[in-house]
Amino acid sequence: MIPAIGLVLGIVIGVLLQPAVPAWLQPYLPIAVIAALDAVFGGVRAILDGIFSDKVFVVSFLSNVVVAAFIVFLGDKLGVGAQLSTGVVVVLGVRIFSNVAAIRRHLFDA
Amino acid sequence: MSSPGTEPQPPRDARHAWARLRRAGSPQPTRSNLLAALLAGALGFALIVQVRQTSVEGLENLREDELVRIFADVDQDGEQLAAEITNLEASLNLLRSQTTSEEAAQGAAQERLDSLEILAGTVEAQGPGIVLTIRDPLGGVKAPTILDAVEELRNAGAEAMQIGDVRIVANTWFTDAADGLSVSGTVIQPPYVLRAIGDSNTLAGAMEIPGGVTATVRRAGGDADVRITDEVTVDALLPLRTPQYAQPVPTESP
């Protein structure tokens, strides 16, 4: 419940402040957001599986974001930034879909 | 990276899952929970920021080939728009010149109409001219004398004339009546007042020439008086008659 409130609060703050993304962060932010979304869906799924742990959630969240950003950074340095970004987004998207499928199976038996 | 996802899951009781979700949703102000809330807040914040950034994204983080393509597109658009400007300016000029020539044609037509209306006697006219008053106490002034006077005035350049209350135009006729003069069927009695618009000195001179109108009237026992004025009003009107048989021959328009 509290994380949900935090999410809403973050969205509201973002809408109100309308900050500009610093230039050095621009390539990484989209991937980081996707990675964090993956972590959030994984967390919800873990709750339903009965194996949720706050600590695991926090660590997975942060490591997801950092690893995703690092992959993009590395890709940029190697000159394959665009392709690697696409790959990361595809992988994370597949994970999000499978997590959502598991959540759906838990909640609706379908 | 929270849970290992292996499918398919063993079927669980849906109500059980909802209860678990509710339990997880109940506020547990532990440190980890607050941290999770903070992370979730950061996620929402970043999400919105990125969405806004994408919606206002400019050209700065596009790749070179994309920039080249955009540049070529813009270039092409510019050329097209320049061509369009040229076309539109050309048609603007065309329309302007058409308007001008139409205005000129309209002005010419209006002038023509004015002069024809004055000639036909369907409008009032005013201008410098003379007022010729012929008094005829003895009844010696006959229609030919008046006709002479009118012809003399015409020769002298009179542009509009009226005698009494009758406009004098090309087909006006004069004849003697029992007690005066019949002008196109309207009987008028002396004194005859003839108003003519034109160069007043020329008109007056035409009346005064030896053996002219004044002399003729005097010989007939009458008296002709010419008054030069700057403002003669010819206000008698004739109805416009549309020609029944004569049709204008179409001329080639310029």
Q: Which of A31, A37, A41, A49 to mutate to test the interface with B (most CBs of B within 10 A)?
A: A49
Tell whether the model's pLDDT for residue B74 goes beyond 90: yes
- pLDDT tens sequence across B101-159: 889 999 999 999 888 888 888 888 889 999 988 888 887 888 888 888 888 888 888 88
More confident residue, B12 or B39: B39
- State the distance between the two ends of chain A, measured CA to CA, in whole angstroms: 25
- Of B1-10, B57-66, B72-81, B239-248, least confident by mean pLDDT is B1-10
CA distances from B235 to B124, B171, B195 (A): 5, 18, 10
CB contact under 8 A, B35 and A54: yes
What's at A11, amino acid-wise? Answer: I
* B199 and B232 Cβ atoms separated by less than 8 Å: no
pLDDT at B82 over 90: yes
Q: CA angle at residue A78 from A29 to B63, to 5 degrees?
A: 60
Q: Which domains does chain B have, with CATH numbers?
A: 125-234 (3.30.70.1880)
The domains of chain A are located at: 23-108
The interface predicted TM-score (ipTM) is 0.77
Q: Do A106 and B1 touch (CB under 8 A)?
A: no
- The mean pLDDT of chain A is 85
- DSSP letter (8 states) at residue B11: P
Give residue B238's pLDDT.
82
Average pLDDT over residues B231-245: 84
Backbone angles phi, psi at B241, to 5 degrees: -105, 120
Q: What is the pLDDT of residue B108?
A: 92
Helix, strand, coil shares of chain B, percent, nearest 5, are: 50, 20, 35
* Cβ distance of B33 and A54 shorter than 8 Å: yes
Q: Does B25 touch chain A (CB under 8 A)?
A: yes
Instruction: Give residue B6's pLDDT band: very low, low, confident or very high (50, 70, 90).
Output: very low
> What are the pLDDT digits (tens) for B106-117?
999 999 988 888
Q: Which residue has the higher pLDDT, B55 or B85?
A: B85
pLDDT given for residue B92 in this prediction? 94
CB contact under 8 A, A58 and B11: no
Q: Cβ separation of A33 and B47 shorter than 8 Å?
A: yes
Chain A positions touching B28 (Cβ under 8 A) are 2
Q: Nearest chain A residue to B19 by CA: give it.
A: A48
Query: Distance (Å, rounded) from C-alpha B227 to C-alpha B222?
Result: 16
Please calculate the CA angle B146-B119-B165 and round it to the nearest 5 degrees: 45
**Residue of B21, B38, B43, B51 best to disrupt the A interface, most CBs of A under 10 A:** B43
The tens digit of pLDDT for each residue in A46-68 reads 888 888 787 888 888 889 889 98
User: Which H or E element spans position B134?
Assistant: strand B125-135
CB environment B27-62: b (16+ within 10 A), e (fewer): eeeeeebebbbbbbbbbbbbbbbbebbeeeeeeeee
